Amino acid sequence: SPQLAKRLVESVARFPARPHALPDDDPYRVTLRKLWKKMIERDWRTTQKALYLLHALSRSTPTKNARALSRTLKSMVGDADPKTGRKYFSRRELVALRGDDGAERGAVVDAYAGFVLRRALLFAGKFEDVAAPKKKKKPAAVEECPADVINEATLKRAQNALLVTEHALTFLRAALDDPDPRRAHLVVVSCVELVVADLVDGWAAARDACGALAAALAKYA
């Protein structure tokens, strides 16, 4: 629920950006393991709620904490859970997709998992990494660099943004596909709200970044 997500965000916001604990005691890793345990339960609602909580953490925690969460997530992907043998954060391991409701809800769960995991791995916070850096009160002298260097860095972020956007639209199509809105589950509605908010923020950040890129390239044209 949004209330639980808010409490979890407030808790993670108090974590140190770079914990000195051993990997198994790392607060980000402990939190992600708990979420993963919920993601692989048979009930699709539990899976969807756990994905929603990961989405909320990636989006709403302070940027330094969101980046720490993303780094920890990257380090866990591909590793096997010692208790279950399943690979952490693999969409193939989501048991709910093979449950009784799999045929009906599987597309929504799978699409949301694809979006949330990509988003959490590639971006932190509200897409600050995509937006152009804010101007300082006393800007330093601009250091000239080749246009292809600027282009490469910005294009990589743009490619990642497009990939995440593609996953977002895939989820929205799946979530809004039911012609009877009365069948919409509350947890799916909450997920849709977060995804739409991400699209708005991501588009604004991409617009600013493209404007900065165009201005930079114009200097070297």
> Is there a contact between 56 and 9 (Cβ–Cβ < 8 Å)?
yes
Lowest model confidence (mean pLDDT) among 7-16, 65-74, 173-182 = 173-182
Q: Please count the residues of the chain.
A: 221
Could you give the CA distance from residue 63 to residue 17 in angstroms, rounded to a whole number? 9
Could you give the CA distance from residue 152 to residue 130 in angstroms, rounded to a whole number? 13
- Give the confidence band of 60 by pLDDT, cuts at 50, 70, 90: very high
SS3 content of the chain, % helix, strand, coil (to 5): 70, 0, 30
> Is there a contact between 211 and 73 (Cβ–Cβ < 8 Å)?
no
Q: What is the pLDDT of residues 109-154, one digit of tens each?
A: 999 999 999 999 998 888 776 655 555 555 554 445 455 555 576 6
Q: What is the pLDDT of residues 200-215, one digit of tens each?
A: 887 777 676 666 656 6
151: how many CB neighbours lie within 10 A of its CB? 15
- Beta bridge partners, 87, equal 80
Token duo for residue 173: 């199509």
Evaluate if residue 220 carries a pLDDT over 80: no
Give burial (CB, 10 Å; 0-12/13-18/19+) of 160.
middle
- Beta bridge partners, 80, equal 87
Helix (H) or strand (E) holding 38, with range, is helix 27-39
